[in-house]
Amino acid sequence: MAFEGLSDRLDNAFKKLKSKGSLTESDVRDAMREVRLALLEADVNYKVAKDFTNTVTERAIGAKVMESLTPAQMVIKIVNEELTALMGGTQARLSTAAHPPTVVMMCGLQGSGKTTHCAKLALMLKKENHRPLLVACDIYRPAAIDQLEVVGKTVDVPVYVDRDNKCAEDIAMKARKEAEIKGFDVLIVDTAGRLQIDEELMEELARVKKAVKPHEILLVVDALTGQDAVNAAEGFNDKLGIDGIIMTKMDGDSRGGAALSAKKVTGKPVKFIGMGEKFDALEPFHPDRMASRVLGMGDMLTLIEKAQESYDEEQAAKLEKKFRRNEFTLEDFLEQMGQMQKMGGVGKMLEMLPGMGANKISDDEIEKSERELKQM
């Protein structure tokens, strides 16, 4: 679960603060030392962790905090604000073209999940009533074109393919014309990846960028690679100039250091996070909501949004009438449980409830609850 280890360590540090009626400067510095260690253990960049705790300490030892009725809560509030600022402050949205199509260029190293996330982004935009077109511009790996066609078919989004053309920028330009003619308002360009950043890769990406003039260049990085993900982001940004980051496999990263360091190190925001293998498991990145989750305060806004996506209002009204008339059946109950599973199951829901983060309840207990639901 994302940030599980960090949440535990921060929780312990704040418990010590809360146990004291009044705080001294020494108490705050001790707590911030623990916070810094927690951030370093979560694989946060050393300079980022040091700057963060220094800023929090400076704000926390101010007279307003020390003299307040709840100094510990004031310190936690400051940590929350600084954590939100560290991850970007506000949600960074996709840029859109004044005259469609909006061109989104996807880049990244091999194995980061770039091609799959082209389809995930296309599905998300499709749900927002856009008409996306995927473009296969990886001319080196034949399986990449096949993979994009497969994932495109899965999310029911067309894919522009030109197998005989060995010029990526030419394919991209032709796809753009196709989008203009056929009325697609978003063009998602899947480019070639490499095992490492090299000049050849960057030159090709620069040519594609020059040819189609993308409104958005998104870098796909694997959260599980920790600081390597941040280094890759820094390298791509220096050589290509990216606009944002898609952080994949966030659901499997218990540390979360890459997500915390990326914005500070590269200056570019994390725009989306991959929270699972399913094609609808791509979420916009909200720094304030993520900070709230890290500090065990839950994320009610995301929970409400997921509920709105999963629950049919008309169906909910019918169920309400059934309840009032005492006609609620086992079939209705089964449907309700199915809708809950659509929201991510017990584990995902607990993670978003205040004070009920998944790190407060063991994985075994969550698995047991999931098993019981299936059995039911």
d(CA 116, CA 144): 10
> Which helix (H) or strand (E) is 18 found in, with range?
helix 4-18
pLDDT of residue 369: 77
pLDDT of residue 73: 80
CA angle 123, 129, 132 (to 5 degrees): 50
Q: Are 147 and 260 in contact (CB under 8 A)?
A: no
pLDDT of residue 187: 94
- Chain mean position to CA 197: 23
pLDDT of residue 301: 62
pLDDT in single tens digits along all 376 residues of the chain: 566 777 778 888 888 877 777 778 888 888 888 888 888 888 888 888 899 999 998 888 876 666 666 777 888 888 888 988 988 888 888 888 888 899 999 998 888 889 999 999 999 999 999 999 999 998 887 788 899 999 999 999 999 988 888 898 999 999 999 999 999 999 999 998 877 777 888 888 999 999 999 999 999 988 888 778 888 888 888 888 899 999 888 877 666 777 788 888 888 899 999 888 889 889 898 888 888 877 766 555 666 666 666 666 677 777 778 878 888 888 888 877 777 777 666 666 666 666 555 445 666 777 787 788 778 7
Instruction: Please tell me what DSSP assigns to residue 91.
Output: P
Which two structure tokens, joined as six digits, stand for 314?
Answer: 């008309």
- Among 97, 101, 217, smallest CA distance to 158 is for 101
Residues in the chain: 376
Q: How far is CA 12 from CA 83, 289, 352, in A?
A: 17, 21, 20
Which two structure tokens, joined as six digits, stand for 233?
Answer: 């982001």
Q: Kindly tell me the number of DSSP H helices and DSSP E strands found in the chain.
A: 17, 8
CB neighbour list of residue 116: distance below 8 Å, 6 or more residues apart: 147, 151, 279
pLDDT of residue 358: 43
